[in-house]
Amino acid sequence: MRTKIRTSRRALRAKLRSPGRPPVLHRAARWPFWRAIARGLSSEDAAIVASVSTVVGIRWFRQCGGMPPSHLAPSAPQPSGRYLSFAEREEIALSRARGDGVREIARQLGRSASTISRELRRNAATRSGGLDYRAHTAQWHADRAARRPKVAKLVTNPKLRKYVQNRLAGNIETPGGRVIAGPKVQWNGRRHGRRQARRWARAWSPQQIANRLLVDYPDDTSMRISHEAIYQALYIQGRGALKRELTACLRTGRALRMPRERARSRGKSFVTPEIMISERPAIVEDRAVPGHWEGDLILGLDSSAIGTLVERTTRFTMLLHLPPMPGHRKQPREKKSSALAGHGAEAVRDAIARAMKALPQRLKTSLTWDQGAEMAQHVQLTVDTGLQVYFCDPRSPWQRGTNENTNGLLRQYFPKGTDLSAHRPSDLQAVALSLNTRPRKTLNWQTPAEALDMLLRSADQSGVATTS
């Protein structure tokens, strides 16, 4: 008697276009990755959370443009227990290799026999057409069958796509209608540098486009799209409506979208909680004791800068000369090297140390700065000078109000848009002398130099009286 060979239902179908090889990791492995990204973790750290290599995590992030696919988004519902997991499919594969029957497998997994039978019938197909069950291939078939692809609105509506693309990447024109080409920029798949030429376009933001549709087409409901859908069409690979290079028309010019939580948690690595302004002693706030300083940079043309230091009690000002280093604007900046503009971390640290060297120790207590990268070497500065450095909160210039007011006064001598590197150290000393000999209302019309001298004299007299 001839034995009848069963074939899977999939083998009886017409030949389909191959969807490619099964992925190395199945869908369930990507869930913890994108949830870690939503919490603000980097691609490398999210890959560690998902138990995959950092290379795989970076590739997932770049393939999706920094945006999770809709079925893997944090807002998407996680597959319920009614669906077989990859671990259960591995158990089915092992049981089939042992020769267990359908009911025995169902009893071991706590599933109904019909579920196991249906799984073997649907997902056991191999390219040979047999019923060899492999867990990895079965999970691949199940993930593909679970997809509910939704065609993007920009693909099905040419009128809407033309409107969006024209407002986003349309040409710049004169009032007479003549097109201005602008600089020629070649797309390299990455974000263009801040100081490099950018593509000229109408450059409406996706939010502007989405809301302007309501004004231009108030009665046409087909001309509606959310700004998130436009972002997805730009960033997610395979959406098919808008090309990825059109991201150069956005204000940021990013080739990858920045996750919201990552942008919120982004901060300077050298700023720790114990050196924030909230931890600064209360004695600094009342300005009763001198020796507490506020500092900042004023910037000019061609990355030129001047450092400013203001004593909180007396408003005494010192200016830091920050000349450009050799090779500035003449050789390319090397990664992890010193800033050639003259206001890098090392240059600012050395300039502050030189300025503080001439002061008595009682005037070198603390320094409050914003979270600029020029203070990345604040630990070494504390070792060199004894100044305890504190950092303001982001976007809080009022926490250094004395310094901000002084910088406003200095703009009378160093206007914005001028080359500050043209001034010599003697010039800066002359300007500082001018400010320090200028009477101030807050000092009862004394000058900062007179107020500082009076405080030092009183401190010396009290010290002598104490020792006697």
Instruction: Write down the pLDDT at residue 21.
Output: 62
Instruction: Write down the pLDDT at residue 398.
Output: 94
**Contacts from 17-24 at CB under 8 Å and sequence distance 24+?**
19/144, 22/136, 22/137, 22/139, 22/140, 23/140, 24/56
How many residues comprise the chain?
A: 468
Mean pLDDT of 343-356: 92
357 pLDDT higher than 80: yes
Alpha helical stretches, state H, 249-327? 260-265, 282-285
pLDDT digits (tens, 9 = 90+) for 146-205: 766 677 888 889 999 999 999 988 888 788 888 887 777 776 665 554 556 777 888 888
Instruction: Write down the pLDDT at residue 466.
Output: 43
- Say how many C-beta atoms besides its own lie within 10 A of residue 113's C-beta: 14
- Residue ranges of E strands in 84-188: 172-173, 179-180
Instruction: Write down the pLDDT at residue 269.
Output: 73
306 pLDDT higher than 70: yes
pLDDT digits (tens, 9 = 90+) for 111-138: 999 999 988 888 876 555 566 788 888 8
Provide the whole-model pTM: 0.56
pLDDT digits (tens, 9 = 90+) for 266-301: 667 788 888 999 999 999 999 988 999 999 999 998
Instruction: Write down the pLDDT at residue 263.
Output: 66
Task: Give the best-scoring range by mean pLDDT among 67-76, 85-94, 140-149, 229-238.
Answer: 85-94
- Comparing 430 with 325, the larger pLDDT belongs to 430
Question: What torsion do the CA atoms of 238, 239, 244, 247 make, to the nearest 10 degrees?
Answer: -150
Element (H, E) at 463: helix 448-467
Mean pLDDT of 385-392: 94
Instruction: Write down the pLDDT at residue 23.
Output: 64
Mean pLDDT of 33-59: 88
Q: What is the residue type of 180?
A: I
400 pLDDT higher than 60: yes
- The CATH number for 273-329+337-464, chosen from 3.90.1170.50, 3.60.21.10, 3.30.420.10, 1.20.1090.10, is 3.30.420.10
Question: Is the distance from CB of 319 to CB of 295 less than 8 angstroms?
Answer: no
Confidence of residue 14 (pLDDT cuts 50, 70, 90): low
The domain limits of the chain are 9-146, 153-262, 273-329+337-464
Instruction: Write down the pLDDT at residue 12.
Output: 54
Lowest mean pLDDT among 21-30, 56-65, 78-87, 357-366: 21-30
312 pLDDT higher than 70: yes
Confidence of residue 10 (pLDDT cuts 50, 70, 90): low
pLDDT digits (tens, 9 = 90+) for 246-268: 887 887 777 777 777 776 666 67
Q: Which residues pair with 297 in a beta bridge?
A: 307
